[in-house]
Amino acid sequence: MGVHLIIYLACTLFFLGNDFFFVLGAPDHATFTLFEFTYRVLIVAVLFSLPTLQHLHDCGTSYRPNFLQAGDSIIAPTVLIIGLFLVEQSISYQFGIERYFEFPPPDSFVLFLLDITLGLALVSFSETLVSVVLPLRMIQEYRLSGWWMMLVASLLFGLSHWSRGPTTMVAATLANIYFFWIAKQRRSVGAVLIVHYLVDLYFFGSQGFVLMDNRPS
């Protein structure tokens, strides 16, 4: 079993299991943020220490964003994925689908700003490395079927959002399939990182500001 597959399975199992800490522990915002920062920094550091993940040219893509085609590779995907999750939220609300975990309301504006800047950047980087970059590397290394690897990786990415309910799992699966398409067709994992960050910023940033405004004085 190769090192990429071992690391992929370990990270995926961790992503699947870490929400139990949130669901069972119900941490406050400071504890939640500290835990998120710690494990995501470790994941990024370990993965990016591998020489094979520091470049992706032999996988037909790169970390460089293609700003000359920003409309097709960044703006349009961001709008489409935001729309996908807005539809998901509407369906979830319409049918009263239970979410097992809601993100804790921020109790510090400074910590909240750190969370939606560095924190969401770490989320984007760690999840893209695990759910897009590692599968692309395994496709190239083990001569796997690209479509099957993309589907399996996207399903596992969706499953890792189980604490947010079944509609979120479906939306996350579809979003990761789109991330693969951007990485391969637009030849830019960098664009995936930006799109992932902007989508998270839209939802978690706006949600956080609402929760901050609704805090008891």
Q: Which residue has better confidence, 55 or 159?
A: 159
Average pLDDT over every residue of 126-148: 90
- Helix 29-48 vs helix 3-25: angle between axes, to the nearest 10 degrees? 180
pLDDT at 173: 98
- pLDDT tens-digit profile of 152-203? 999 999 999 999 999 999 999 999 999 999 999 999 999 999 999 999 999 9
Lowest average pLDDT, out of 7-16, 103-112, 164-173, goes to 103-112
DSSP characters over 191-212 = HHHHHHHHHHIIIIIHHHHHHH
Task: Supply the mean pLDDT for the chain.
Answer: 91
Task: Please tell me the pTM assigned to this model.
Answer: 0.93
Q: Sign of the C-alpha dihedral, residues 52, 55, 59, 63?
A: positive
DSSP characters over 70-124 = HIIIIIHHHHHHHHHHHHHHHHHHHTT---S--PPPPS-HHHHHHIIIIIHHHHH
Work out the burial of residue 143: count CB atoms within 10 Å of its CB; fewer than 13 is exposed, 13-18 middle, 19 or more buried: exposed
Look at the block and give the residue holding tokens 């990761």.
176
Q: What is the DSSP letter of 217?
A: -
pLDDT > 80? residue 89:
yes
Rounded-to-integer distance, Cα 174 and Cα 172, Å: 5
- Coarse DSSP helix, strand, coil percentages of the chain, rounded to the nearest 5 percent: 80, 0, 20
pLDDT > 80? residue 208:
no
Rounded-to-integer distance, Cα 7 and Cα 99, Å: 29
Distance from the first to the final alpha carbon of the chain: 56
Could you tell me what percent of the chain has a pLDDT over 90?
A: 68
Look at the block and give the residue holding tokens 């790169």.
62
Residue spans per domain, the chain: 3-213
